[in-house]
């Protein structure tokens, strides 16, 4: 069996009221909450994947501002190791109500509301990324090289 890495992106987006853009979605028969996130597609720049996933899952056009970090998570449900490239960004405008099929809704939630979700969070990375963001962790976007541009 050939091992294939799973590259994903996520974006931590906070509004002026201290709420975070979150996605309520169906995953493996459960309803869970996550940042706007998803897989990087073939030949897609990682930052472009973050913009695309946020739009498809929330209807919001976003602009990545900083690279938050690279996170590794092995999901106990399927044994897959995911490499999450997480960004911070700003929501620019809501441009559509149409969301991906597995998405139930997009929500703006306070950190307290997110913490109360407990085991309804898709993974421990949801809180970890928000905590790193709140600590002021950020790197310039150009730490991720894209030789095609």
pLDDT in tens, the chain (149 residues): 677 779 999 999 999 999 999 999 998 889 999 999 999 999 999 999 999 999 999 999 999 999 999 999 998 888 889 999 999 999 999 999 999 999 999 999 999 999 999 999 999 999 999 999 999 999 999 999 876 55
The DSSP secondary-structure symbol of 22 reads: E
Instruction: Tell me the pTM.
Output: 0.93
Domain ranges of the chain: 6-142
Q: CA–CA separation, 25 vs 63, rounded Å?
A: 22
Q: What is the architecture, at CATH level 2, of domain 6-142? A: Alpha-Beta Complex (3.90)
From 9, 88, 80, select the one nearest 50 (Cα to Cα). Answer: 9
């Amino acid at each position: 069996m050939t091992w294939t890495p799973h590259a994903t992106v996520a974006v931590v987006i906070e509004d002026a009221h201290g709420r975070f853009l979150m996605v309520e979605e169906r995953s493996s028969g459960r309803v869970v909450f996550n940042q706007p996130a998803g897989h990087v597609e073939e030949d897609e720049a990682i930052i472009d994947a973050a913009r695309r996933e946020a739009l498809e899952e929330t209807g919001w056009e976003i602009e990545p501002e900083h690279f938050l970090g690279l996170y590794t998570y092995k999901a106990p449900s399927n044994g897959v190791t995911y490499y999450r490239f997480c960004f911070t960004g700003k929501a620019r405008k809501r441009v559509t109500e149409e969301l991906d099929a597995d998405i139930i809704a997009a929500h703006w939630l306070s950190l307290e509301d997110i913490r109360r979700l407990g085991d309804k969070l898709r993974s421990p990375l949801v809180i970890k990324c928000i905590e790193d963001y709140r600590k002021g962790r950020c790197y310039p976007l150009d730490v991720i090289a894209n030789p095609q541009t």
